[in-house]
Amino acid sequence: MQPISLLSGIICATWSFVFFIICQHLIQPLTEIYHPHNDRDNVEKRKMKMVQNPSYIRTWFTDSNAERWIRKNTLISFFHAFITGILGFYSCWTYSPDIHRDYVNHITWFTYLTCSFSFGYFCYDTIDIISNQQGSELLEMMIHHALTLTLFGTSIIRRANIGYLMLALIVEINSVFLHLRKLFHQYNIPRESLIVRLTMVTNIITFLIFRFGLFIYGSITIFRDGERAGSYFHIFLGYILVPTIWIINIVLFYRLLYTDFLKKRKTNQSGYDSTCTCNTVTSGVCMQYTCSTTAKSPNCFAGTSLITLADGTFKALADIQIGDQNNTIEPITSFIHAKRQGLFTFLALQIQSVVSNLSSTILVSANHLIFDYDSGEARFAGKFRVGDRVQFIDNSEIVPGEIVHIQLTKQQGYYAPLTPSGTIIIDGVVASNYATVSNHALAHQLMGIYRWWIDLVGGSKWSEEIPWMLQIMLSIEQVIRWFGGQIVINNFNYDGQFKVSSIA
């Protein structure tokens, strides 16, 4: 073994930490770029909005603009993955076959300093994430970073297992495409673009090769070396690190596969995710359309929807922050999912109070639940008709609100707020937090585990996809379908049919 001092590793890690802080400031102009491919968005919406950062801990790393920070963090992660992925592959190629004969005792100045450089990045990124994130995303990243810092830190101090660290850094080759895919999305590059499609395919291929194939090889060699890696360290590697990383990789692969290849996209030329046929004509004007949609992901509520706060003031849903008290005197604890950019399909239900002249229009997806006044039960918004009555708030009391018009429209962004009770008042209408499942009480019970999770780690407003815990529930539903449970599932799920009076 070459005589390598621990001090050299500490100095390299420190310089790496400073290097990424400098990069953070140098790339600031890149975070303000917006790709104007979407002509539907006006100039103001093309500009990045100043969104309050929801982090628990405020430090010098905290960026007041949450969206700008996400871009900045992804760019820095991309640079680290690009640099260390190349260095890791170069090392395993150049020092072959010696490095592959003994991953425990292999060490050179080059491989040792490469690992120290990566350790400095993970120290930087840990502080950056803690200073700018909260909720389940923070917990997931902290689990990964805690394991990584433990692995790299102890190996650098002991100057052992450097070969294993170089194998781990080869995985960063896949991280290059993971971060590149994320950057394309953040900068609104169309997913139909050739470069985006190539990135998605390459991402899956490199994921299978490096995060699965290479990790299988690494797992086998770790168990083969056993206590040679360290009397206690091999327990950490074999029984904590390896199983946890396997779980993380499987969940991540499912998310990627579903989002990029399995998830159905809106394709009709009208721009709506629904197909409508006129079935009632009066004086040459269509008075009612029967529509159907194959969209499974609920858009829930539009960003312009108004929430009545505990003090009686109104606030647009897009501006709501975690912890805001609505007028049922309970906090909004999280958002099941939300997306600020893009136009999405909603039903505009115009409601008229039967006890006064008060009226309101709620913008809700057809498969979201709102409460019927006469039965007291929650029903899909798409199953209400003109003349039906919903639970409506008038003078702080629940009164009948008659539906006088239903229009199919498109609005900017979607939001799905979550409250402890599972209900919320949107645009004066009593609505459920839930969609897709017809039984509000059942949905509330199933979401109990997720609400407990939110109480434990905190909520988030910035996740466009539904949380991994809920995705697992959807996977269980799919398994039930595969085993012939379609009839049972269909009795609870939205069938995609609804009727509207007009189309915007």
Model confidence at 351, pLDDT cuts 50, 70, 90, reads very high
Domains of the chain: 6-34+49-188 (no CATH), 274-503 (2.170.16.10)
Radius of gyration for the chain, computed over Cα atoms and rounded to the nearest angstrom = 26
pLDDT for 211 equals: 96
The token duo for 281 is 């004509």
Rounded to whole angstroms, the Cα distance separating 341 from 87 reads 37
3-class secondary structure, 57: coil
pLDDT for 447 equals: 87
pLDDT for 274 equals: 67
3-class secondary structure, 330: coil
Give residue for tokens 């995609």. 496
Of 188-197, 328-337, 413-422, 453-462, which gets the smallest average pLDDT? 453-462
Any bridge partners for residue 280, and if so which?
Answer: 288
CB atoms under 10 Å from CB of 43, counted, come to: 8
Contact between residue 371 and residue 390 where contact means Cβ atoms under 8 Å apart: yes
Model confidence at 430, pLDDT cuts 50, 70, 90, reads very high
pLDDT for 472 equals: 67
Contacts of 113 (CB under 8 A, 6+ apart): 8, 9, 12
Of 4-18, 204-218, 311-325, 377-391, which gets the smallest average pLDDT? 311-325
Of 19-33, 127-141, 149-163, 340-354, which gets the smallest average pLDDT? 127-141
- Between the alpha carbon of residue 423 and those of residues 69, 210, 274, 328, 469, the distances in Å are 32, 44, 27, 9, 21
pLDDT in tens, 221-253: 999 998 888 878 888 988 999 999 999 999 899
Q: What is the mean pLDDT of residues 73-99?
A: 96
% pLDDT > 70, the chain: 83
- Between the alpha carbon of residue 473 and those of residues 107, 194, 265, the distances in Å are 46, 33, 21
Does pLDDT of 78 surpass 80? Answer: yes
pLDDT for 105 equals: 93
Contacts of 353 (CB under 8 A, 6+ apart): 359, 392, 394, 399, 400, 401, 402
pTM (2 d.p.): 0.66
